[in-house]
Amino acid sequence: MNAAAATVVPFDHRQSAHCESGVISSLLRHNGLDISEPMAFGISAALGYAYLPFLKFGGLPLFAYRMPPGWIIRGLTKRLGVRMHMQTFRRPEDGTRALDAHLAAGRAVGIQTSAYWLSYFPPDMRFHFNAHNLVVYGKRDDQYLISDPVIDILVECEASALQKARFTRGVLAPKGLLYYPGPVPAKPDLRPAVRKGILFTTGMMVHVPVPIIGTRGIRLVAGKIRKLDPRQEAHNKLLLGHIVRMQEEIGTGGAGFRFLYASFLQEAAALLDKPRLAALADRLTEVGDEWRRFALHAAKMCKGRMDMDYKMLADQLLHCAAEEDTIYRELRAEVK
């Protein structure tokens, strides 16, 4: 008798907007707690805004529309009282062996990887980003069976590529991180968790006295765009393109996670029986639409399909900042 060539843990794949909220909500659902992606995102208080000029990517500063990687998994499990088992490894072979052992024990696990070395990613979508998350639910011969939350179908990745992706070095190095939840309550009371999440996010967005964070950060970036030197157009285009990519392309569900958060607020309105939250969700949707228009204008200006107009882009961002500011303040008053 030889070991079966395939180990498969039945896993329900559901596509998500964002990798981390997607993985955690499907892992919890797999373990008996049905929680939507927006709920996972909102409870963990993952929405944010930060302009981090000291972190450079390809020479351009970081514009973050959410809290740092790892935040959702930690925040959600903490507020739900679920213990997350996490393992990292020094040696790649140990990481691969542990993954195989979990699969053999019938456990689907989440792992952190680099997005660049995953062979199933379309080549044009591969960039060196070390904090991608996905679920491994089986192995067939030399191929791992993967439920990648940002991809619409189930995918496979050869063992060597996956090992490489799990053990890249550098910023946010995954170190082979592998995780799965411990016992999960089937019907926890989400209400206190929702409230805490909203209080944290709104506090972060309007009450942190740091100019690069929250709505202050959005205003600061608006000012930077307004003051861009027209003689440096080639560089400015790269910068604007970079901003739009951070906002739209990197799995945000549209408008830099604003739509995802508005969807959470709708669910929260029903859960807490506070119709005001649904009205605020509608307003956040409108702000999201403005973010999308900003992205479209900036992209067209980069491509030369629209005249470059820094003032117009800056004004759009100021509008978003002002609107978000009032929304978060009202939201905070509502759940306090």
Partner 1 sequence: MKKTEVPQQNAKAFMGHSKLLYAVDEQGRYAPAPCNGWEAEEIVLDQAIAEYVRLASDAWQRARTGAGSTLEYHMFKQRMDVVLLAQSTGFFKWRVRRDLKPGAFARLSASRRERYGDALGQTPAQLDTLPDQA
Distance, in Å, from the CA atom of 33 to the CA atom of 52, rounded to the nearest integer, reads 36
Say if CB 266 and CB 79 are below 8 A apart. Answer: no
Binding span for partner 1 by CB under 8 A among 3-11, 83-91, 177-185, 253-261:
253-261
Can residue 91 be called a binding residue for partner 1 (CB under 8 A)? no
Binding span for partner 1 by CB under 8 A among 62-70, 148-156, 181-189, 211-219:
148-156
Give the one residue of 15, 31, 87, 143 binding partner 1; rule: CB under 8 A.
15
Give the one residue of 80, 213, 244, 321 binding partner 1; rule: CB under 8 A.
244
Can residue 79 be called a binding residue for partner 1 (CB under 8 A)? no
Q: 294-328: string of b/e by CB count within 10 Å (b at 16+)?
A: bbebbbebbeeeeebebebbbebbbbbbebbbebb
Distance, in Å, from the CA atom of 40 to the CA atom of 137, rounded to the nearest integer, reads 21
Distance, in Å, from the CA atom of 71 to the CA atom of 252, rounded to the nearest integer, reads 15
- Site residues (CB under 8 A) for partner 1, limited to 26-65: 37-38, 56, 58-59
Give whichever of 1 and 124 is closer to partner 1, judged by the CB atom. 124
Shortest distance in whole angstroms from residue 18 CB to partner 1: 9
The closest of 134, 130, 139, 133 to 96, measured between CA atoms, is: 139
Can residue 302 be called a binding residue for partner 1 (CB under 8 A)? yes
Binding span for partner 1 by CB under 8 A among 66-74, 202-210, 258-266, 310-318:
258-266
Give whichever of 219 and 297 is closer to partner 1, judged by the CB atom. 297
Q: Please name the residues in contact with 73: beta carbons below 8 A apart, sequence gap of 6 or more.
A: 20, 23, 24, 44, 84, 110, 179
Give the one residue of 299, 320, 327, 335 binding partner 1; rule: CB under 8 A.
299
Q: What is the 3-state secondary structure (H, E, C) of 97-129?
A: HHHHHHHHCCCCEEEEECCCCCCCCCHHHCCCC
Can residue 95 be called a binding residue for partner 1 (CB under 8 A)? no
Binding span for partner 1 by CB under 8 A among 78-86, 185-193, 246-254, 321-329:
246-254
The 10 Å Cβ neighbour count of residue 21 is 33
Can residue 238 be called a binding residue for partner 1 (CB under 8 A)? yes
Instruction: Tell me the backbone φ, ψ of residue 189, rounded to 5 degrees.
Output: -80, 110
Can residue 285 be called a binding residue for partner 1 (CB under 8 A)? yes
Task: Say how many residues touch partner 1, by CB under 8 A.
Answer: 55
Binding span for partner 1 by CB under 8 A among 78-86, 105-113, 215-223, 235-243:
235-243
Q: Please name the residues in contact with 268: beta carbons below 8 A apart, sequence gap of 6 or more.
A: 42, 194, 198, 274, 277
Q: Got the DSSP string for 11-72? A: ------SSHHHHHHHHHHHHTT----HHHHHHHTT-EEEEEEEEEEETTEEEEEEEPPTTHH
Binding span for partner 1 by CB under 8 A among 176-184, 242-250, 317-325, 326-334:
242-250
Give the one residue of 29, 78, 107, 164 binding partner 1; rule: CB under 8 A.
164
Positions touching partner 1 (CB under 8 A) are 15-17, 37-38, 56, 58-59, 116-117, 122, 124-128, 150-153, 164, 168-171, 237-238, 241-242, 244-245, 248-249, 251, 253-255, 259-260, 262-263, 266, 281-282, 285, 288-289, 292, 295-296, 298-300, 302-303
